[in-house]
Amino acid sequence: MKNSTRREFIAASAGAVALSYAIFRSTQGWLTQMGQVAGIGVERTLGGKLTPPNARDIDPVSHALNRLTFGPGPGDHARVSAMGVEKFIEQQLSPEKMDDSLCDRATARFSDMWNEPLGEQYDAEPEALPPVLRRVTLLRAIYSERQLFEVMCEFWSDHFNIDPGKADCRWTKPTDDADVIRKHALGNFRDLLRASALSPAMLWYLDGRANVKRRPDEKPNENYARELMELHTLGVHGGYTQQDVMEVARCLTGWTIRARRDDGFAKTLISPQTDHFAVFFRKDAHDDDSKRVLGHEIPAGLGKGDLDRVIEIVGSHASTAQFIAHKLCVRFIADEPPQSAVSAVASAFSASNGDIKTTLRALFAAPEFASSAGTKFKRPFHFIVSALRATNASTTADRPLLSYLERMGHMPFCWPTPDGYPATAQHWRSTLLWRWNFALALANNQINGTSIQRARLQARIGSDVGLMATLLGRQPRAEESDAWLKSGDGLALLLASPAFQRC
């Protein structure tokens, strides 16, 4: 973009931001009514040097921070520069070794609810758990030092999407988040796939619990089998047929979940209280004849072992490696990633039998990753979290903040269909007005429960230019500095700028 065009765009953006600020002020009463703040927010301690990036363009350190995290905070560039990008990547791939006490403090008020057994989750009011899950997810993204882990939790949550609004998913999705997504986010894909297949939330969401064959004329429910191959493994063009869907559905018959009442699938099988809501296998509801899946013969009589054969077959399929690699490259490289990068990542996935860390190492080592700096358009969740991290905000992540995600259409765990939130920029271009609203509200401390210590932050960094460089991951252009000084609200303008929208 030529400088004159860029200046015109920034000037136009300033006008649009001013308009959106008026809209924001008119809706402030509505936002306040949406919910009052509960608890006290936390703030990252700004220790050490806060030396901002000094390169004219996004350097490898800023690029790694932009893509492997939800956005750098003040001082992160200096810290990662000191350790080196490769060491930073390895650190992020071993989250269990990292201290995460700040994040633990931020989410401590919810720990009792989170550690309850699944059966006790059902004691909560029907709409009580999903909002807590959303707040905890947002707080973790903002405050966790285990940033790549949180990024991958978001990635797999979309990949294995479950809408808590369906039936018992409102009670079972928090357990799925803990025992499926977070437990296996950086583990092995096949373990993750198997855990998802037997997740109480997934059994409810895609009707696996209703997949039974108790009589010769009873047809299995194919819903989960179809999504298993289309969305979770091979992809829609992965080479499976309708016959494969039917055979996989037969393999997975009999897996269900104990219900609170007789629902037609757990009749007379409600056990003592300690086993309520547990996943179990009904041999009398399983099709135990032989099957053929994707050219592989599955002999009769395996019973529950059919599930493991299916996981092995689809998890090791070449189309699965390509499909997962493509989705990862979309997330970390480009909306339309080069096939050379996808092939390299797929090869690492296959050679490691689905080891997620090995796969990510191959992705981050790809030259296509290194050359893609500053080209990805942030999804709303990423944009909001990156703004909060860049300004070292303190927040309770309560309703006034979540309402912005709701307006942008990216509230965590609210996508109704199994494909998960869209990953590419095209879907999110229409959110710009509410992004500008958010930038103005954040910069002026007008979001209840969320605040930034702007003067203190600017004093620690040392200058306007340093603060701009901290937000941009590079030194500001002349037109950006000029707009900062002339706008009267440079911080809001920069957060709303095209440069901050990208990573």
For 215-231, what is each residue's pLDDT tens digit? Answer: 999 999 999 999 999 99
C-alpha–C-alpha distance, residues 242 and 222, integer Å = 10
Q: What rounded mean pLDDT belongs to the chain?
A: 89
Asked whether residue 101 falls in the same domain as residue 87, the answer is no
Q: Choose between 275 and 116: higher pLDDT.
A: 116
Q: Provide the pLDDT confidence category of residue 265 given band limits of 50, 70 and 90.
A: low
Contacts of 37 (CB under 8 A, 6+ apart): 396, 398, 400, 448, 449
**Residue that is last in its domain, among 118, 148, 183:** 183
* Backbone torsions φ then ψ of 394, nearest 5 degrees: -105, 130
Q: Is the pLDDT of residue 233 over 50?
A: yes
pLDDT at 124: 83
Domain assignment of residue 200, yes or no: no
Per DSSP, which regions of 289-410 are E strands? 291-293, 296-298, 394-395
Asked whether residue 216 falls in the same domain as residue 300, the answer is yes
The one-letter amino acid at 262: D
Mean pLDDT calculated for residue range 293-309: 98
pLDDT digits (tens, 9 = 90+) for 364-376: 999 999 999 999 9
Domain assignment of residue 193, yes or no: no
**Percent over 90 (pLDDT), the chain:** 80
C-alpha–C-alpha distance, residues 458 and 467, integer Å = 6
Mean pLDDT calculated for residue range 279-302: 96
Asked whether residue 360 falls in the same domain as residue 349, the answer is yes
pLDDT digits (tens, 9 = 90+) for 132-150: 999 999 999 999 999 999 9
Domain assignment of residue 495, yes or no: yes
Q: Is 377 helix (H, G, I), strand (E, B) or coil?
A: strand
Q: How many CB atoms lie within 10 A of CB 460?
A: 16
Q: Helix 3-33 vs helix 478-487: angle between axes, to the nearest 10 degrees?
A: 40
Domain assignment of residue 226, yes or no: yes
Asked whether residue 29 falls in the same domain as residue 77, the answer is yes
Domain assignment of residue 210, yes or no: yes
Q: Is the pLDDT of residue 5 over 60?
A: no
Domain assignment of residue 189, yes or no: no
Q: Provide the pLDDT confidence category of residue 246 given band limits of 50, 70 and 90.
A: very high
Domain count along the chain: 4
Asked whether residue 284 falls in the same domain as residue 306, the answer is yes
Q: Provide the pLDDT confidence category of residue 125 given band limits of 50, 70 and 90.
A: confident
Q: Provide the pLDDT confidence category of residue 111 given band limits of 50, 70 and 90.
A: confident
C-alpha–C-alpha distance, residues 422 and 382, integer Å = 13
Q: Helix 380-390 vs helix 129-143: angle between axes, to the nearest 10 degrees?
A: 50
State the DSSP code for 423: -
pLDDT at 269: 45
Asked whether residue 304 falls in the same domain as residue 391, the answer is no
Asked whether residue 105 falls in the same domain as residue 75, the answer is no
Asked whether residue 22 falls in the same domain as residue 110, the answer is no
Range of weakest confidence among 12-21, 169-178, 209-218, 329-338: 12-21
**For residue 428, what are the domain limits?**
3-92+377-501
Distances (CA, A) of 243 to 217, 223, 240, 250, 449: 17, 14, 8, 11, 54
pLDDT at 34: 34
C-beta separation of 429 from 477 below 8 A:
no
**Percent over 70 (pLDDT), the chain:** 88
* Backbone torsions φ then ψ of 166, nearest 5 degrees: -95, 120
Q: Is the pLDDT of residue 20 over 50?
A: no
Q: Is the pLDDT of residue 447 over 90?
A: yes
Pairing of strands 394-395, 296-298: unpaired
pLDDT at 7: 43
pLDDT at 207: 96
Domain assignment of residue 25, yes or no: yes
pLDDT at 128: 87
Q: Is the pLDDT of residue 114 over 70?
A: no
Domain assignment of residue 192, yes or no: no
pLDDT digits (tens, 9 = 90+) for 152-210: 999 999 999 999 999 899 999 999 999 999 999 999 999 999 999 999 999 999 999 99
C-alpha–C-alpha distance, residues 130 and 60, integer Å = 38
Q: Provide the pLDDT confidence category of residue 22 given band limits of 50, 70 and 90.
A: very low
The token pair at 115 is: 């550690």
Asked whether residue 497 falls in the same domain as residue 399, the answer is yes
Q: Provide the pLDDT confidence category of residue 43 given band limits of 50, 70 and 90.
A: confident
pLDDT at 106: 94
Q: Is the pLDDT of residue 289 over 90?
A: yes
